[in-house]
């Protein structure tokens, strides 16, 4: 059975070069045979992974991927080649206690919250003011020159990114578990299932509005191109009106959501207390807001502690058994890299192709993914 294919450089798909030439090949060709043919046609010497339509990883034969993509052997097929992913640990930075939250900023610095009630920016201590003597910062976000820190003392702190000095603080109704700045508004997810929102503008006393859309702790607040979403231990994900904080649409999932993240490909990934990971395809608010699709499962019963997606579509997931796994959004069936660390992974976040990971071992790990 013959099919017509063309090999396309996945990193430079618009370049007019010999990778756009088509050839008739046997659909039963294996991934290894296709790789050899691709190198012959393109002159590429790198180790590459091949994807049908840049979405379906060719693991066995081309025919298997054609069937997976539900297309016809009579179709003109594009096979994209991408250099195989490599991950290496760049460095480890010790901290005085467990790491609770990690947030890299656009200038390359990293803000870290520890269980000794301190927050540091590249080891420079932040200062706080307000009624609390002690505070554990559960979550962090950065917008321009301001760091937004949500505390277990039911306060959101606004600190200067450069100096670490607290510019002001805002009292909310209960401990803050998650935080996100979206379209000029600060959205703080609270442990009672509420979301408090206020303007991030300086020089004025903020008016705080609080809305309750969940029955349990809001584990994540996510800013996406299609809107603002919240995820909760009550097993639900809500599409939120960012100006009012009220829920527009809700989807219920099978188990408690412990963490969540959003990608540039209009997908939300949710990590659960039972070790499962799910992918939600999000549409525009005018359409059906979300469609659920479970794509993989971690170790049975393992609490998913943290997850994040890079700009290039690399999904990192850390659990309470200390396992860190990496997936490519083009191929979510199996990870392309795994790493074990000591203790629970409690937080991670990306800055371009660099992942920062922290948890019980009191070390901030830095991984570079190429």
Q: What is the pLDDT of residues 94-135, one digit of tens each?
A: 999 999 999 999 999 999 999 999 999 987 899 998 888 889
Residue 290 scores a pLDDT above 60: no
pTM of the model: 0.84
Number of H helices, E strands in the chain: 2, 33
- CB-CB contact of 112 with 120 (8 Å): yes
- Beta-carbon contacts of 299 under 8 Å, excluding residues fewer than 6 positions away, are 275, 319, 321, 323
- CB-CB contact of 298 with 317 (8 Å): yes
Q: Which CATH class is domain 87-369?
A: mainly beta
* Delimiting residues of CATH 3.10.20.90 domain(s) in the chain: 2-83
> What average pLDDT score do residues 7-21 get?
70
- CB-CB contact of 274 with 329 (8 Å): no
Give the range among 237-241, 289-293, 295-299, 313-317 with minimum mean pLDDT.
289-293
* Delimiting residues of CATH 2.130.10.10 domain(s) in the chain: 87-369
50 vs 59, more confident: 50
- CB-CB contact of 364 with 93 (8 Å): yes
Q: Does domain 2-83 have CATH number 3.10.20.90?
A: yes
> What average pLDDT score do residues 15-23 get?
64
Question: What is the predicted pLDDT for the residue at 292?
Answer: 53
Per-residue pLDDT tens digits for 175-216: 999 999 998 899 999 999 999 999 988 666 778 999 999 999
Give the whole-angstrom CA distance, residue 29 versus residue 172. 61
């Amino acid at each position: 059975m013959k099919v017509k294919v063309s090999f396309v450089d996945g990193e430079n798909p618009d370049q007019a070069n010999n990778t756009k030439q088509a050839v008739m090949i046997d659909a039963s060709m294996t991934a290894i045979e296709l790789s050899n043919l691709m190198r012959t046609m393109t002159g590429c010497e790198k180790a590459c992974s091949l994807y049908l339509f840049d979405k379906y990883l060719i693991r066995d034969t081309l025919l298997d991927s054609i069937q997976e993509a539900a297309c016809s052997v009579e179709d003109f097929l594009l096979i994209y080649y991408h250099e195989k992913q490599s991950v290496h640990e760049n460095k480890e930075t010790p901290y005085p206690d467990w790491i609770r939250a990690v947030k890299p900023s656009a200038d390359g610095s990293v803000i870290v919250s520890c269980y000794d009630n301190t927050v540091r920016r590249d080891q420079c201590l932040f200062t706080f003011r307000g009624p609390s003597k002690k505070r554990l910062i559960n979550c962090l976000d950065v917008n321009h020159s301001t760091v937004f820190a949500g505390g277990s003392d039911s306060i959101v702190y606004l600190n200067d990114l450069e100096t670490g000095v607290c510019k002001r603080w805002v009292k909310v109704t209960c401990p803050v578990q998650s935080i996100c700045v979206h379209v000029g508004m600060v959205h703080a997810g609270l442990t009672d299932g509420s979301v408090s929102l206020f303007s991030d503008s300086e020089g004025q006393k903020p008016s705080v509005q609080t809305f309750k859309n969940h029955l349990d702790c809001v584990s994540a607040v996510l800013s996406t191109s299609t809107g603002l979403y919240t995820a909760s231990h009550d097993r639900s994900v809500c599409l939120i009106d960012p100006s009012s904080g009220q829920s527009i649409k809700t989807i219920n999932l099978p188990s408690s959501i412990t963490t969540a993240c959003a990608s540039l490909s209009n997908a939300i990934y949710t990590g659960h207390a039972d070790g499962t990971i799910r992918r939600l395809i999000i549409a525009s608010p005018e359409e059906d807001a979300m469609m659920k699709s479970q794509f993989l499962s971690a170790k049975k019963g393992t609490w998913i502690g943290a997850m994040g997606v890079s700009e290039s579509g690399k999904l990192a997931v850390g659990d309470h058994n200390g396992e860190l796994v990496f997936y490519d959004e083009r191929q979510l069936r199996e990870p392309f890299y795994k790493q074990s660390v000591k203790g629970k992974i409690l937080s991670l976040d990306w800055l371009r192709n660099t992942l920062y990971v922290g948890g019980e071992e009191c070390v901030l790990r830095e991984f570079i993914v190429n």
